[in-house]
Amino acid sequence: MNHLTLSTDLITSDILPVISQSKVARQTYLDKRVTKSQRGTKRTRSQRARERLQTKEHLVGLARELHEGELADKLDRCHSRLSVLTCGRHIARIIPNFTCEFRLCPDCSRRRSRKLQNKYLPMMSAFMLHNRVTPVHLVLTQTHRKETRKQSAARIRSSFTKLTRRSFWKDNFKGGTWSLEFTKDKNGLHHTHLHIVGFRRKFFDIHLLRGEWLAVTGDSHVLHLKPILDLAVGLQEVVKYVSKPLDIRRFGAADLKEFLGLKNMRMFGTFGEFRDFCKGFDLSDEAAASDLETLARDLVEGCACPHCDNPLFDLRLSKGELPQFYEQMESSPPGKVGTSWN
Ligand SMILES: [Zn+2]
Ligand SMILES: [Zn+2]
């Protein structure tokens, strides 16, 4: 059971150590177009918390529809009661009563993507320093066919494997990470994209890469490439698809059923020399300094808030109260501590 699993709702934007790669040179061959999903809109924490609640309720409803009672109960219980360590204006840590670990659960997938970031960011930084490579965000797309989500994912991954075996790719990339993004259009066709943080050895002509992608897919040359100026932000952009594979609120029972059949599909991985580098990387040194979950774990009631030095206190909230609490934090003027939750 996963009682009292630590979930640091931290602070991500404030405390998370941002490792900047500001020295990435501008170059002329880059394709700056981004896919619609990459743009995203900035919502407040309270809005996001509320959306997670709605997503979860929707999932619970679908699970009940499919007579997946156990799944529905687990989702319902997950993060239903929270112990929040807060100064009244900032949240240092949130400990949920229970985590369901279901892949589509918005609360559990957030934790998972944060873990991925904490794990890979130090390795990526070290790899870049070691190899003098620059990171780019590459999005590979494929033509739409009548196929299942599983087939669509297998097709794009197999094309990517072929791509990485070609000499053009090896000359220009030194490995990286990949993650899958799924969408579905109005006609029910699956669109699968592969998001790659690639470590580029040198500049190259994007048209040549398009030609290579067409050569391995047979019918698609569509890809997008943009430089990653801030590795932490770039990685976050890519792992968000792992944490939020689709717009679940538009999911029907049939979609959930299909997803339940995908249980073991990998959504994230490493490739090339970066993969080998990760295997040999000793997390204990470099990650220790940046592991916020460790830092947050040591905080207890009475400790100083990492943001403002005010004392932290423990607040018990039900899941429905969390968005309200965020709202109060968002609306309280700087310096003023909200007291109504005391
Ligand atoms: Zn969950
Ligand atoms: Zn504070």
- pLDDT tens digits along 174-198: 999 999 888 777 777 778 899 999 9
The overall average pLDDT reported for the chain is 81
C-alpha pair distances (Å), 300 with each of 1, 6, 97, 101, 267: 23, 13, 17, 25, 35
Measured in angstroms, how far is the CA atom of residue 308 from the centroid of ligand 2?
4
| Neighbour-count burial of 258, counting CB atoms closer than 10 A to its CB (0-12 exposed, 13-18 middle, 19+ buried) | middle
Q: At what angle do helices 283-290 and 106-131 cross, to 10 degrees?
A: 120
Measured in angstroms, how far is the CA atom of residue 23 from the centroid of ligand 1?
39
pLDDT of 36 reads: 42
Which ligand places an atom closest to the C-alpha of 304? 2
Measured in angstroms, how far is the CA atom of residue 294 from the centroid of ligand 2?
18
Q: Does residue 333 sit in helix, strand or coil?
A: coil
pLDDT of 306 reads: 84
Answering whether pTM is above 0.75, one says: no
- Residues 89-94 have a mean pLDDT of 88
Measured in angstroms, how far is the CA atom of residue 253 from the centroid of ligand 2?
42
Measured in angstroms, how far is the CA atom of residue 312 from the centroid of ligand 2?
8
- Residues 82-97 have a mean pLDDT of 91
Closest-CA residue to 184 (of 249, 101, 265, 108): 249
Residues 106-146: tens digit of each pLDDT? 999 888 888 888 889 999 999 999 998 999 999 999 998 88
Q: How confident is the model at residue 33 (pLDDT cuts 50, 70, 90)?
A: very low
Record the tokens describing residue 38, joined without a space. 């990459």
Number of helices and strands in the chain (H, E): 14, 8
For 269, phi then psi, to 5°, come to -165, 175
